[in-house]
Amino acid sequence: MFVIQILSFENNVSKLNKLLDSYIEARTIDNNLSKSVRIGIFDSDDSKAKARFDNENKIYSFLIQPNDISTEFLYSENEIKSQIDGKRLFIGTEFNEKTKRLKENSFINLGGDNNNLNKAGRNVIVDSDVYNEEGINLALTKEKFAQQIYYKEIIISDESLCNFRHIFSKISGYINKEQWL
């Protein structure tokens, strides 16, 4: 019997890198430690993400494809923009780069810190600090988006599911490799 653990740290590549490195270090020092398979999956839009293939310690990580995207871009634009309780994910290109206002509705604007404000005009997911004229946040978090998919509140097309095939294939490869070791 074997255990597979898939790790996800929303918006924190360095924490996931550190955790995977600590597993490798601990297992290298103490061969008696349980060596269940650990798999880290990174968005490919962060240059700090580190792919690993450590067969001896059963630690693996990889970046989603295509390059330079976050996982949400594997879904269709309509799926990304699904409304849940009046909130949704936004795409940075929906905002004017200079004014930080939503191009389709100038009463909605991007707020928050410079990291968030700098998303205006870029092809990135915006999941916080999008405000209407009353100061109400209209952004759905990535975590809530994922939960709504899991609970089938957001229905995913077969075409979008096919975009995840490479992820399932990689995970399956690590699982099947483990079964035969």
Task: Tell me, yes or no, whether 111 and 44 share the same domain.
Answer: no
Same domain as 167, residue 152: no
Does 71 fall in a domain? no
Outline where the chain has alpha helix (H). Answer: 13-29, 77-80, 114-117, 142-150, 158-162, 165-180
Domain range for 143: 76-156
* Residue 12 domain flag: yes
Share the mean pLDDT of the chain: 90
Q: Check whether residue 126 and residue 107 sit in a common domain.
A: yes
Tell me the backbone φ, ψ of residue 59, rounded to 5 degrees: -115, 125
- Report CA Rg, the chain: 19
Query: pTM value?
Result: 0.84
Which residues of the chain are modeled with pLDDT < 50? 1, 180-181
Beta-carbon contacts of 56 under 8 Å, excluding residues fewer than 6 positions away, are none
CA-CA-CA-CA dihedral for 73, 153, 109, 119, to nearest 10: -20
Q: What local confidence, expressed as pLDDT, does residue 180 receive? A: 46
81 and 149 fall within a common domain: yes
- One domain for residues 117 and 169: no
* Whole-angstrom distance, CA of residue 123 vs CA of residue 141: 17
Are 28 and 92 in a shared domain?
A: no
